[in-house]
Amino acid sequence: MQRWKHRPEGSNWGDFGPDDQLGRLNLITEAQVLKGAQEIRAGKTFCLSLPLDLPGGNVLNPRRHPPQLSPTRLADTPYLNFPLKNVNPDAVDVLSDDQVLLSMQYSTQWDALAHVGALFDADGDGKPELRYYNGFQAGVDVVGPADGDHTGCGCNSGGPSAALKLGVEHLAQKGMQGRGVLVDLFRHYGPGRTLIGHAELMHVLQTDGITVESGDMLVLRTGYAEAVVAMNGTPDPNVLHTYGAALDGTDAALLQWITDSGIAAICADNYAVEAYPAREKTGPRAMLPLHHHCLFKLGLPLAELWYLKDLADFLHASGRHHFMLTAPPLRLPHAIGSPVTPIATV
> Residue 327: what are its φ and ψ, rounded to 5°?
-150, 55
Question: Order of strands across the sheet with 302-304?
Answer: 45-47, 343-345, 322-326, 177-184, 217-221, 265-268, 302-304, 109-111, 337-339
Q: What is the pLDDT of residue 232?
A: 97
Q: What is the pLDDT of residue 230?
A: 98
Judged against a pLDDT cut of 70, whether residue 150 lies above it is answered with no
Judged against a pLDDT cut of 70, whether residue 136 lies above it is answered with yes
Fold classified for 23-57+106-115+166-345:
Glucose Oxidase; domain 1 (3.50.30)
Q: How far is CA 248 from CA 200, 255, 258, 291, in A?
A: 10, 9, 12, 11
Q: What is the pLDDT of residue 147?
A: 72
Residue 344 in contact with residue 180, Cβ under 8 Å? Answer: yes
Cα Rg of the chain (Å, integer) = 21
Task: Kindly state the average pLDDT of the residues 319-329.
Answer: 98
55 preceded by a cis bond (ω within 30 of 0): yes
**Helix, strand, coil distribution of the chain in percent, nearest 5:** 25, 20, 55
Per-residue model confidence as pLDDT tens digits over 55-107: 999 999 999 999 999 999 999 999 999 999 999 999 999 999 999 999 999 99
Q: Which helix (H) or strand (E) holds 95?
A: strand 94-95
- The alpha carbon of residue 222 and the mean position of all alpha carbons in its chain are separated, in whole angstroms, by 16
Task: Kindly state the average pLDDT of the residues 33-54.
Answer: 98
Q: What is the pLDDT of residue 157?
A: 44
Q: Which helix (H) or strand (E) holds 44?
A: none
pLDDT grade, residue 204 (50/70/90)? Answer: very high
Environment class of residue 160 by beta-carbon count within 10 Å: exposed (0-12), middle (13-18) or buried (19+)? middle
pLDDT grade, residue 2 (50/70/90)? Answer: confident
CA nearest neighbour of 175 among 334, 18, 29, 2 = 29
pLDDT-above-70 percentage for the chain: 96
Q: What is the pLDDT of residue 161?
A: 79
In this structure, what is the dihedral angle of CA atoms 187, 231, 217, 45, given to the nearest 10 degrees? 90
CA nearest neighbour of 128 among 119, 139, 136 = 119
Q: What is the pLDDT of residue 280?
A: 81
Residue 46 in contact with residue 342, Cβ under 8 Å? Answer: no
Judged against a pLDDT cut of 60, whether residue 219 lies above it is answered with yes
* CA separation for the pair 33, 322 (Å, rounded): 12
b/e string for 129-145 if b means 16 or more Cβ within 10 A? Answer: eebbbbbbbbeebbbee
Q: What is the pLDDT of residue 148?
A: 54
- What size, in residues, is the chain? 346
- Residue 332 — left, alpha, or beta (φ > 0 → left; ψ -120 to 50 → alpha)? beta
User: Could you tell me the residue ranges of all domains in the chain?
Assistant: 23-57+106-115+166-345
Q: What is the pLDDT of residue 277?
A: 87
Judged against a pLDDT cut of 50, whether residue 153 lies above it is answered with no
Per-residue model confidence as pLDDT tens digits over 261-309: 999 999 999 999 999 988 888 888 899 999 999 999 999 999 999 999 9
Task: Kindly state the average pLDDT of the residues 231-251.
Answer: 97
